[in-house]
């Protein structure tokens, strides 16, 4: 399997050269910016987006426990996806593109592990899909950041485009396929926390006494007023 994408006429390789070629024409300072963004910057951005989504979903009286559970699931799914990538990398054994192709502008040195699939692409898309489940608006921002991360990895010369696509697919699959089980386990936990002394972690305001036991597994309201935030509802909300 190590011979994937070695042929220079392969579209995967052609796209690699096209995207990485942008780094050769860019100013040195811009390459340094892309290096930071691709390695650390977008990860920091994900942390901020997730925190913003958490702060927002806490304000939903009924949907808060399930929405917060979705946000908790996002990094857990990313971790599981990275673990799942370990045997995939060992089976495919694709070298980094700069080891098999000349003339690439490699912005990050010292990459000695296998290339397929991209850990960064896997992690960012897994988190992005998890955030989207809880809050569509912030989730859309997270997905855009994940796509930017994938572009950066190819721009930096450390991954083939298909490494990134494979990472996106793996992160999405793990998050969505395991979401029903994860939500079944996490929602009762966040519901319990909501009624405890640290309930502010889940709900911005205490639950009204007459809301009853159905709060343990909140359902989507059938309708909202014209000024509501239906467009921001996530799959877990």
Q: How far apart are CA 181 and CA 184, in angstroms?
A: 5
Q: State the pLDDT at residue 118.
A: 92
Closest by Cα among 204, 124, 230, 203 to 167: 124
Encoded tokens for 19: 């995207």
Q: How high is the pLDDT of residue 208?
A: 52
Q: Averaged in consecutive runs of 10 residues, what is the pLDDT profile of the chain (237 residues)?
A: 52 87 85 85 90 89 86 94 93 86 79 87 94 93 94 90 95 96 93 84 64 42 43 49
For residue 215, what pLDDT is reported?
42
């Amino acid at each position: 399997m190590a011979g994937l994408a070695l042929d220079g006429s392969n579209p995967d390789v052609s796209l690699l050269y096209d995207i990485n070629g942008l780094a050769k024409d860019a100013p040195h300072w811009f390459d340094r910016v892309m290096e930071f963004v691709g390695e650390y910057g977008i990860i920091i951005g994900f942390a901020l987006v997730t925190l913003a989504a958490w702060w927002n979903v806490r304000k939903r009286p009924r949907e808060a426990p399930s929405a917060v559970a979705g946000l908790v699931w996002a990094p857990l799914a990313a971790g599981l996806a990275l673990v799942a990538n370990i045997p995939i990398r060992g089976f495919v054994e694709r070298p980094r593109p700069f080891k098999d192709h000349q003339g690439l502008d490699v912005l990050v040195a010292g990459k000695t592990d296998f290339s397929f699939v991209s850990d960064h692409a896997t992690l960012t898309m897994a988190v992005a899909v998890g955030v989207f489940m809880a809050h569509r608006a912030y989730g859309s921002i997270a997905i855009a950041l994940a796509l930017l991360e994938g572009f950066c990895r190819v721009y930096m010369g450390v991954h083939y485009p298909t490494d990134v696509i494979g990472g996106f697919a793996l992160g999405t699959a793990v998050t969505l396929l395991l979401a029903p089980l994860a939500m079944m386990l996490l929602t009762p936990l966040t519901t319990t926390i909501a009624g405890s002394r640290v309930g502010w972690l889940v709900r911005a305001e205490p639950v009204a006494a007459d809301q009853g036991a159905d709060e343990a597994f909140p359902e989507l309201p059938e309708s909202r007023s014209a000024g509501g935030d239906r467009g921001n509802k996530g799959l877990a909300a």
